[in-house]
Amino acid sequence: MASEYEEQDYIDIQQYWLILRRRWLVILLVLGSVFGLAAFYTFTLKPVYEAGGKLMLKQNSSSSLIGLSDKLGELSGLTNTSNPLDTEAEVIRSTPSVQKTIEKFQLRTPKGKPLSVEDFLKNLKVKSVRGTDVMELSYRSTDPQEAANVINFLMKSYLEGNILNNRAEATAAKEFLSKQVPQLERRVVVAEADLRRFKDENRVVELTEEAKVGVEAMRNLSAELTRAQAALAEKNTRVQTLQNQLELNRQQAVELSTLNQSQGVQQVLAEYQKTQDELAVAKTRLTNDHPTVINLTEKVNALRSQLEQRVGKVIGGGVAVPERDLQIGQLKQSLTADLVRAEADRLAAEQQVQVLSRALTDYQNRLAALPKLQQRQRALERKLQVAQSTYQQVLKQLQEVEVAEQQKVGNARIVSPALVPDKPVSPKIMLNLALGGFLGVLLGAGSALLLEALDKTLRDIDEAKRLLGLPVLGTIPQLMDKKGKKAGDEELPVLNNPYSPASVAFEMLQTNLSFTVSDNELRVILVTSSVPGEGKSFVSANLAVAMSQLGKRVLLIDADMRRPRQHKVWQLANITGLSNLLVGQAVLSQVTHEALVTLDLVTTGTTPPNPVTLLESKRMDNLIKDVSSNYDCVIIDTPPLTAVADALVVGKLVDGLLLVVRPGIVESAAVQASKNLLEQAKVPVLGMVVNGVDEKSGYGGYYYAKGYYGKKEFDGEEKIAGLKIG
């Protein structure tokens, strides 16, 4: 299996060479035609001249000098993959630029019509020089001066347009910036007002410093509050101790101290106590109805009422004060005074604690609010800073653009102007002729291979062997005349030209036939082909001659009753023959012709209406048996296999079948059909004879014969062996 694949993959160079040699006329015609057309086209073209110039593109230096941050007029790509040089090349190739050039020089086509933009661009080339910032322009024209003028005008127009574009960009930028300045100024004013309003509303001066001061103040307030709370606790303890000793509360102590210090109350109290004493003395001496007792009683009541009124005025009405508390001792009065003073101190300490607590709470709330205030302040400051920065930047750019607008600076300069060319660039005669020759050879070889592929005929011996699978018993060369040309009228080269390659080929054929059957002697041989024109009659006749020259008695029977040929080969009359013999109109001796001393011939005779019936008859079987016993070899020439069934019918009666194959005449399909017919009929096939082989193909053993028998000098025995006998 591997060998089969290797054979399929193998490219037979020799086979292709043979195909090209076989189709040399087609190749020569195609080559001559293509080369002639290329030469005619080349020499009829007008010479074309090409002028070229170079531009160097650069960044706008004026922008960097004046510090334009937006790089006004600078060459740059819109994306990372774009190339500024390619962009500028498209600007040069743009329709307005091209149209302006066409109108400037009145460019026209060879027919006199105005040159179109598309035709102009076909002659114009704009490309960048790799690794540089230089752009090369070239234009082709039949007029060298016109080519140079076009390039120079294009470069000049591009430079002028570049300057105008840069100035236009500066003007547009100036107008835009002039509109932006007032708006940005208003933004600055608004941002400043917002920041000032924020500071006024939140009493902000410096939040960072305020935070430091606030923390220090909180620390001090916390210490003072701690001390005040300790003093308050001490005063609460003192007040509580005095209250426990006097059994008075703070209010009562204040009231007693006030009443004891009031002169009006003490005077009425003293008078009241004195009158009570007098009444008590009077009651001891007088009755209750006594006017003195009654007067003293009324005086006591009056004084009590007056005392109550004065007490009410001092401490407030509605408060009943025991009489014993209206006048206390010196010690109690001193303690009461201490209680009042301690209560006052306590109240003062309590008030101080409350004040310190409120102050501490205020500082804590303020410090807690500071981060948010700082955040808002920073946002407002950033807004103001951005507004101010943008305003200053735009104002600066406006001033710079005003300066750039007055400048006349472009992004390119001419490195090399176009010169008038002195030599044409087209046509390239040698290159065109070489290409024409190469294309001619290529098309010629392709045409030859295409014709070979379209040709369904059998090409060579290898293909015959592959299709039939039969051994090649002989290769008969194509007959040539003395001038080396094909000779188609030579019927018996073995007899008439014994030293020719064909004679040697038939000698080798009859020798190979002797080795095909080892057990039984080969006596009856059937010769046929797949289609007419392959030379089966030619092979039959010459094979019979070759065997007869060996001294064998040979009988040649022409069984092709439809298109008989042997009587023409041997130039005999075909009045009676095989058909007459098979129908009983003649006997074998009557239809047998002596072609040579040891070679007899039986022609077809009268053409019957149904040859297959005669060939299948018992008489045909008896005839073959009879002649096979009387002759050393019987050769039967039969019709082609694919035409009629005659060969298959006779093939059952013979010892072996010899199939004649002629490349270039028979098609592969016919060969395959013949193989199938032989396999189905089970006819014993000896092998095949390849007829009409070209000497240049390298097949066959006749090279030796040609080289050997081609000598002009030979001995007498060789002469005698080649003489025609009879």
Q: What is the pLDDT of residue 330?
A: 55
As a whole number of angstroms, the longest Cα–Cα distance in the chain is 228
pLDDT tens across 275-334, in order?
877 778 887 887 788 888 788 788 878 877 776 677 666 666 555 556 555 555 555 556
Q: Between the CA of residue 420 and those of 100, 139, 151, 159, 411, what are the distances in Å?
A: 21, 11, 10, 21, 26
Tell me: the pLDDT tens digits for 524-559? Answer: 999 999 999 899 999 999 999 999 999 999 999 999
Pairwise pLDDT comparison (16 vs 508), residue with the higher score: 508
| Phi and psi, residue 77, nearest 5° | -90, 150
Structure tokens at 398: 């406006």
Q: Which residues pair with 52 in a beta bridge?
A: 138
- What's 653-701 look like in SS3? CCCEEEEEECCCCCEHHHHHHHHHHHHHHCCCEEEEEEEEECHHHCCCC
Residue appearing with tokens 């060479």: 17
Say which residue the tokens 């790509």 belong to: 77
Q: Which residues contact 289 (CB under 8 A, 6 or more apart)?
A: none
Higher pLDDT, 697 or 185: 185
For the segment 412-416, the average pLDDT, to the nearest whole number, is: 86
Give the pLDDT confidence score for residue 417 in this predicted structure: 92
In the predicted model, is pLDDT for residue 68 greater than 70? no
Q: Contact 456/669 with Cβ under 8 angstroms?
A: yes
- For 9-57, give the DSSP string: H---HHHHHHHHHHTHHHHHHHHHHHHHHHHHHHHHSPPBEEEEEEEEE
- Would the pTM count as exceeding 0.85? no
Task: Return the axis-axis angle of helices 263-285 and 291-315, rounded to nearest 10°.
Answer: 160
Beta bridge pairs of residue 48: 426
The answer, yes or no, to whether residue 171 has pLDDT greater than 70, is: yes
* Per-residue model confidence (pLDDT) at position 715: 40
Structure tokens at 149: 């003028």
- The pLDDT confidence band at residue 254, using thresholds 50, 70 and 90, is low
**Which of 280-289, 399-408, 415-424 is most confident?**
415-424
Mean pLDDT, to the nearest integer, of 400-412? 70
38: its two tokens: 């290329």
pLDDT in tens, 4-43: 444 444 456 776 777 777 778 888 898 888 888 888 888 8
Beta strand 134-141 with 49-57: parallel, antiparallel or unpaired? antiparallel
What SS3 class is residue 64?
helix
d(CA 171, CA 177) in angstroms, rounded, equals 10
Residues 6 or more apart whose Cβ sits within 8 Å of residue 106: 114
> Is the Cα torsion angle 497, 498, 499, 504 positive or negative in sign?
positive
Strand partners, 596: 599
Q: pLDDT, tens digit, for every residue of 442-497?
A: 888 888 778 767 766 777 788 888 888 899 999 999 876 554 445 555 789 999 88
* Helix 668-681, helix 461-468: angle, nearest 10: 30
In this structure, of 255-269, 340-354, 355-369, the range with the lowest mean pLDDT score is 255-269
How far apart are the C-alpha atoms of 11 and 16, rounded to whole Å?
9
Flag the least confident range among 71-75, 109-113, 138-142, 322-326. Answer: 71-75
- Tokens linked to 240: 């509580």
**pLDDT one-digit tens code per residue, 701-726:** 444 444 444 444 434 333 333 333 32
pLDDT at 543: 94
Q: Which residue has the higher pLDDT, 607 or 267?
A: 607
What does the pLDDT read at residue 714?
A: 38
C-alpha to C-alpha distance for 292 and 484, rounded to whole angstroms:
204
Separation of alpha carbons 615 and 108, rounded Å: 86
pLDDT at 623: 94
159: left (phi over 0), alpha (psi -120 to 50) or beta: alpha
Give bridge partners of residue 593 from the DSSP assignment. Answer: 601
Q: Does residue 120 register a pLDDT over 80?
A: yes
Cα 379 from chain centroid (whole Å): 49
pLDDT of residue 361: 82
Residue 259 is given by DSSP the state H
| Higher per-residue confidence, 695 vs 122 | 122
Among the listed residues 692, 339, 372, the one whose alpha carbon sits nearest the alpha carbon of residue 542: 692
Predicted confidence at residue 227, as pLDDT, reads: 84
**Helix, strand or coil, per DSSP, at residue 552:** coil
pLDDT above 90 covers a percentage of the chain that reads 24
| pLDDT, averaged across the chain | 79
596 membership: H or E segment, kind and range: strand 592-596
Q: Could you give the angle at which helices 501-513 and 702-709 cross, rounded to 10 degrees? A: 130
250, pLDDT greater than 70? no
Contact 92, 126 (CB under 8 A): yes
User: DSSP per residue over 124-182, as a string?
Assistant: EEEEEPTTSSEEEEEEEESSHHHHHHHHHHHHHHHHHHHHHHHHHHHHHHHHHHHHHHH
Cα gap 363→213, rounded to integer Å = 10
User: Is there a contact between 601 and 636 (Cβ–Cβ < 8 Å)?
Assistant: no
Rounded to an integer, what distance in angstroms lies between the CA atom of residue 289 and that of residue 296? 11
Dihedral sign for Cα atoms in the order 617, 623, 629, 632: negative
Q: Please count the other Cβ atoms lying within 10 Å of the Cβ belonging to residue 683.
A: 22
Which of 324, 332, 197 lies closest to 257, judged by CA? 332
Radius of gyration of the chain (CA): 72
Q: Please list, in sequence order, all residues whose beta carbon lies within 8 angstroms of the beta carbon of residue 721, skipping any fewer than 6 positions away.
A: 498, 549
The two three-digit tokens of residue 619, written as one number: 């008489």
When pLDDT is averaged across residues 361-368 and rounded to a whole number, the result is 73
Going by C-beta distance under 8 Å and a sequence separation of 6 or more, which residues neighbour residue 251?
none
- Give whole-number Cα distances, 647 to 579, 613, 639, 674, in Å: 15, 12, 6, 11
Q: Over 60: is that where the pLDDT of 3 sits?
A: no
Residue in 411, 468, 408, 432 with CA at minimum distance from that of residue 685: 468
In this structure, the dihedral spanned by the alpha carbons of residues 632, 636, 637 and 638, taken in order and rounded to 10 degrees, is -160
Of 652, 654, 635, nearest to 527 (Cα)? 635
581 — pLDDT class (breaks 50, 70, 90) = very high
**Interval 654-682: pLDDT, tens:** 999 999 999 888 888 888 899 999 999 99
Taking 50 as the threshold, does the pLDDT of residue 64 lie above it?
no
Look-up: residue for tokens 């098609």?
667
In single-letter form, the type of residue at position 340 comes to V
Relative to beta strand 49-57, strand 412-416 is antiparallel
Give the CA distances from residue 269 to residues 260, 294, 324, 336, in Å, rounded to whole numbers and listed in that order. 10, 20, 10, 20
- The helix/strand/coil state of 515 is coil
Helix (H, G, I), strand (E, B) or coil at 633: strand
Give residues with Cβ within 8 angstroms of 191, minimum separation 6.
380, 383, 384, 387, 388
